[in-house]
Amino acid sequence: MRHDKRVSVGGIPDFVRSYVFNISQKYPYWNRTGGTDHFYLACHSIGRKNLAFFAGAINSPVRKKLLEVWKNDSKIYVHFGRLPTPYSDELLGCKFFLHVKGFEVNTARIGDALY
């Protein structure tokens, strides 16, 4: 299934929609709440070329060290300043998303990573 286009980054929404439909048909109790009492998080690295991604301001000692250690790494993309590509594209191209402590509230980053 590794090379199946249904589970590529672009095909995931249709794959999940079909999966949920099939479960709702096979397991009638699922329909009791429309699946709202179930939570699934499924991640995969198929089609993701980079190991990790981080973008943000250098506003903490941890972020400063992150830049020093990984600024020249070809598989870990650490970016400070304005991104040359859409943020969502960078997230979709990486297996992991680094959520690094800074001076601001970063709750939105968790939501971004789950998307």
Task: Decide if pLDDT at 36 tops 70.
Answer: no
* 23 — pLDDT class (breaks 50, 70, 90): confident
User: What are the sequence ranges of the domains in the chain?
Assistant: 1-45, 50-114
Q: Which residue has the tokens 């998307």?
A: 115
Mean of pLDDT values over 14-41: 73
Please state the φ and ψ torsions of residue 78, each to the nearest 5 degrees.
Answer: -110, 120
Per-residue pLDDT tens digits for 53-110: 888 888 888 888 988 999 899 999 888 888 888 888 888 888 888 877 777 666 566 6
Residue 63 in tokens = 């972020």
Q: What local confidence, expressed as pLDDT, does residue 13 receive?
A: 78
User: How many CB atoms neighbour CB 9 within 10 A?
Assistant: 14
